[in-house]
Chains A and B, each alone.
Chain A
C-alpha cells in the first residue's frame, strides 16, 4: 500500500473528500448563477442606455433635421468608448457611422434587434464580424435608417472575469483542503503509528510501556488514557500472578526437596525395613504435594468462575449440619467442643460442594489452631440477617493479629512460619475464592474483646427465600 493509499484510508481524508465534492457542486452552481444574473443585469442596463440615446436622436432630428443629426452623431461617435452609430439609406447601405460591417438584413426591421448581433469595427484588421452588440433601429420619415447600439464586450468580459475569479478561488480552496487532508491524515497516521509501536513493545512483554499522549485531551488522548489505565490494571494483576507463581515455586520446592532427600536416603540405606518406611514417607510427601496442587487448581477453577454454571438453590442449613457432623469427632479428638447454632431451612443460590469444602476448611483451621486453648468451644453460627446470610466460625485459639488478617487469605501465607501445623496454606484462599464466586464476602475478626480467638464470617447474599 502506497503512502498516499494509506493516507486516503484515514477517516479525516475521507470526510474531507466528501465535503470537497459537495462544496464544489455548490460552487459550480454559484458560478453559473452569479455570472448569468450579472449578464442579464448588464444587458438590461445596455438596453436602457440605448433607449435613452434613441429618444435623444429622435429629438435632435426633429429639432435640427438631418444635418444636425449627422453632426451630433459624428460628435458622439468620436467620444472614447462611444456607442455604435450607423446611418443607412432606405435600402440598407451604410452611409456613415463608426461600424465597418454588419450582419446583412439587420437594418430591415425597425425596433430592437432580436438577438445580440455580430459586427465589424474599422479598427479590425480581418474582415470577420467578431464583435457582439445590442442595438435599436430607427427609421426616419425621409427613409433614412439609424442604428443605435452598444457593444456587449464589457458584460462579456465581466462574466469571464467573475467565472475566472470563482474558478481560481475554488482551486485555491481545493488545494487548501488537500493540504489540510494531508496534514490531518498524516498527523493522525503518525500518532497511530506511535501507538502501534508502543503496543508492539507491550506485546513483546514490556508491560511497563504506556501509549503516548499529546496532552491535547483530544480523542486520541482519551483513547490512550483508557488503554493506559487498562495496561496499569493488567500490569498489577500480572505482578500479583507473578508473586503467586513465585510463592508456588517456593512452596513446592521445599516438599520436593524433602521428597528427593528421603528417596536418596532410602536408596543409600541398606536395611530393607528402613527402606519400606522411607517409601511410605515418600508417598506421604507426594500425597501432600498432590493435595497442594489440587487445592491450587481448585482455587483457580473457582476464580475462573467456571463453576458458576453449577449454582443452584442449596440448603445452607443442611450443608452446615453435614459439616458439623463430619468434623465433630475430629474436634472431640482434639478435646474441643463443636457447637452449632443454625437457623433451619435457609436456602441460598450456590454450589453445595464448594460451600461444604469452604466451611470444612474453616472448621478444620479452627480445630487445628484452637487445640489446647483454654476455652475449648468452637461455635458455628448461621442465620439470616437482613439481605445477607451470615455463617460464622468462632474459635478461642490464639487468633490472628489485625494487621495479618488480610494477609492470611493470600495463597501460601501462613501465620505459623515454622509450618509445624499440617496444611497447604491455601485453605483460606479457597474460602475467599468461593465467597467471591457466590458474590459474598469473607471477613476475619477477633472472637474476644482482648483480640484473642478468631471468628471467620462468610457473608452470602440471601437470594430467594
Chain B
C-alpha cells in the first residue's frame, strides 16, 4: 500500500499556490501551504513532509536561507527550489544551499510533478541496491549487465545509464529534462526529440523480443518504466 505523499509548498503568490495545491491534489499528493519564509521554516520544522517545494524569493526570509536554516536544524526533507531569478548559476547556488533539485520558472506542471514524486520516493529507493528489478527485467549495477527473462541484453554505456535511471525511479514519470540532467549531466531543455530517440533505441533493445512492454511514454510528461502486474498488487 502506497501512503499518500505529503508536501509543503512555500510560495508567496497565493494564486499560484492555490493552483499548485489543486494540481497536486489531483495527482494524489496532499499539500500544505506557507506564504512566507518564516512560516515555511516553522511548518517544515514542526511537521513531517516528504518534499518541500520552495520559491526562491519569499517575504520575511528568502528561500535559500530557509533551506540553509532547515539543514542546520537537522531537517533533511528533500527540497525542490522554484526560481524566477535570471541567473545562470542559480541552480548551483540553490543546490549549494542544500536544495535537492531546482526548477526555473516558467515550468510545466508535469515537470514539477515528476520531480516532486522522484524526490518524495527517494527515501524509499535504494541507492545501495546493487540490482534493480522491474518485472522480469534485471539490471546489475556492479556487473554492468542487463538481463530479461534470464537473457543478457547488451547495452551501450549511455543506454545502460539511461535504463539505470529509469529503473531507479521505476513506477514514476521521468521527464526528458530529468533524463538529460541525470544521464548526460547537462541542464538544458532538450530542444527536439533527441532524448526520445535514445529512449526508443533502448526500448527496442529491452522489448523487441519480450512481453509485456515495460517502458512506456507518458504523453505530455515523459517516460515511465513499470511492470503493470506489480502495480496491481
The segment from A152-160, A181-189, A300-308 that touches chain B is: A300-308
User: Is A301 within 8 A of B189, CB to CB?
Assistant: no
User: Is B187 within 8 A of A353, CB to CB?
Assistant: yes
Judged by a CB distance under 8 angstroms, whether B106 is at the interface is yes
User: Is B86 within 8 A of A280, CB to CB?
Assistant: no
Interface size class of A (residues with CB under 8 A): 35 or more
A356 to B181, CA, bound (A): 12
A297 to B106, CA, bound (A): 10
Shortest Cβ gap from B200 to chain A (Å): 8
Q: Given A280-B219, A353-B187, A357-B188, is A290 in contact with B108 using a C-beta cutoff of 8 Å?
A: yes
User: Is B186 within 8 A of A357, CB to CB?
Assistant: yes
Shortest Cβ gap from A305 to chain B (Å): 9
Judged by a CB distance under 8 angstroms, whether B193 is at the interface is yes
A5 to B143, CA, bound (A): 89
User: Is A330 within 8 A of B193, CB to CB?
Assistant: yes
User: Is B220 within 8 A of A364, CB to CB?
Assistant: no
| Inter-chain contacts of A249 with B (CB < 8 A) | none
Shortest Cβ gap from A411 to chain B (Å): 16
User: Is B108 within 8 A of A351, CB to CB?
Assistant: no
| Inter-chain contacts of B197 with A (CB < 8 A) | 329-330, 332-333
| Inter-chain contacts of B142 with A (CB < 8 A) | none
A361 to B184, CA, bound (A): 16
Judged by a CB distance under 8 angstroms, whether B2 is at the interface is no
| Inter-chain contacts of A291 with B (CB < 8 A) | 189, 191
Most chain B beta carbons < 10 A, residue from A284, A297, A351, A427: A297
Judged by a CB distance under 8 angstroms, whether A369 is at the interface is no
User: Is B220 within 8 A of A427, CB to CB?
Assistant: no
A293 to B108, CA, bound (A): 12
> What residue in chain A is nearest B159 (Cβ atoms)?
A329
User: Is B88 within 8 A of A307, CB to CB?
Assistant: yes
| Inter-chain contacts of B123 with A (CB < 8 A) | none
| Inter-chain contacts of B110 with A (CB < 8 A) | 283
User: Is B106 within 8 A of A364, CB to CB?
Assistant: no
A307 to B219, CA, bound (A): 34
User: Is A306 within 8 A of B184, CB to CB?
Assistant: no
Decide if the interface of chain B is mainly helix, strand, loop or mixed. loop
Decide if the interface of chain A is mainly helix, strand, loop or mixed. helix
The segment from A21-29, A198-206, A258-266, A319-327 that touches chain B is: A319-327
Contact with A along B170-204 (1 / 0, CB 8 A): 00000000000000101111111110011001000
> What residue in chain B is nearest A287 (Cβ atoms)?
B108
Most chain B beta carbons < 10 A, residue from A283, A290, A326, A424: A326
Shortest Cβ gap from A212 to chain B (Å): 39
A306 to B131, CA, bound (A): 43
| Size of interface on B: residues with Cβ below 8 Å to A | 26
> What residue in chain B is nearest A422 (Cβ atoms)?
B192
A286 to B220, CA, bound (A): 10
A300, A302, A354, A361: which contacts B191 (Cβ < 8 A)?
Answer: A361
| Inter-chain contacts of A309 with B (CB < 8 A) | 89
User: Is B188 within 8 A of A356, CB to CB?
Assistant: yes
A364 to B187, CA, bound (A): 16
User: Is A306 within 8 A of B88, CB to CB?
Assistant: yes
User: Is A302 within 8 A of B88, CB to CB?
Assistant: yes
| Inter-chain contacts of A191 with B (CB < 8 A) | none
User: Is A353 within 8 A of B188, CB to CB?
Assistant: yes
Within 180-220 of A, Cβ neighbours of B (below 8 Å) are at none
A222 to B110, CA, bound (A): 59
Judged by a CB distance under 8 angstroms, whether B135 is at the interface is no
Contact with A along B87-115 (1 / 0, CB 8 A): 11100100000000000101110100000
A291 to B111, CA, bound (A): 13
| Inter-chain contacts of B190 with A (CB < 8 A) | 360
A422 to B186, CA, bound (A): 22
Within 184-233 of B, Cβ neighbours of A (below 8 Å) are at 184, 186-194, 197-198, 201, 219-220
| Inter-chain contacts of B86 with A (CB < 8 A) | 297, 300-301, 304, 306
Shortest Cβ gap from B180 to chain A (Å): 8
| Inter-chain contacts of A333 with B (CB < 8 A) | 197
User: Is B220 within 8 A of A294, CB to CB?
Assistant: no
Judged by a CB distance under 8 angstroms, whether B60 is at the interface is no
User: Is A310 within 8 A of B88, CB to CB?
Assistant: yes
Judged by a CB distance under 8 angstroms, whether A368 is at the interface is yes
Shortest Cβ gap from B59 to chain A (Å): 23
| Inter-chain contacts of A290 with B (CB < 8 A) | 106-108
Shortest Cβ gap from B71 to chain A (Å): 23
A301 to B87, CA, bound (A): 6
A354 to B168, CA, bound (A): 28
B89, B104, B220: which contacts A284 (Cβ < 8 A)?
Answer: B220
> What residue in chain A is nearest B194 (Cβ atoms)?
A330
> What residue in chain A is nearest B199 (Cβ atoms)?
A329
> What residue in chain B is nearest A437 (Cβ atoms)?
B88
> What residue in chain A is nearest B195 (Cβ atoms)?
A326
| Inter-chain contacts of A101 with B (CB < 8 A) | none
Residue ranges of A at the interface with B (Cβ–Cβ < 8 Å) = 280, 283-284, 286-287, 290-291, 293-295, 297-298, 300-302, 304, 306-307, 309-310, 322, 325-327, 329-330, 332-333, 351, 353-354, 356-357, 360-361, 364, 368, 422-424, 427
Beyond the given A295-B189, A306-B88, A424-B191, please list 7 additional residue pairs across the A-B interface where CB-CB is below 8 A. A298-B188, A306-B86, A306-B87, A310-B89, A326-B184, A326-B198, A360-B186
22 of the cross-chain contacts (CB-CB < 8 Å) are A280-B220, A283-B110, A290-B107, A294-B104, A301-B87, A306-B86, A306-B87, A306-B89, A310-B88, A310-B89, A329-B201, A330-B193, A332-B197, A333-B197, A353-B186, A357-B188, A360-B194, A361-B191, A364-B191, A422-B192, A423-B191, A427-B191
| For the complex of A and B, 8 pairs with smallest distance between CB atoms | A307-B88, A329-B197, A283-B220, A357-B188, A310-B89, A330-B197, A330-B194, A306-B87
Residue ranges of B at the interface with A (Cβ–Cβ < 8 Å) = 86-89, 92, 104, 106-108, 110, 158, 184, 186-194, 197-198, 201, 219-220
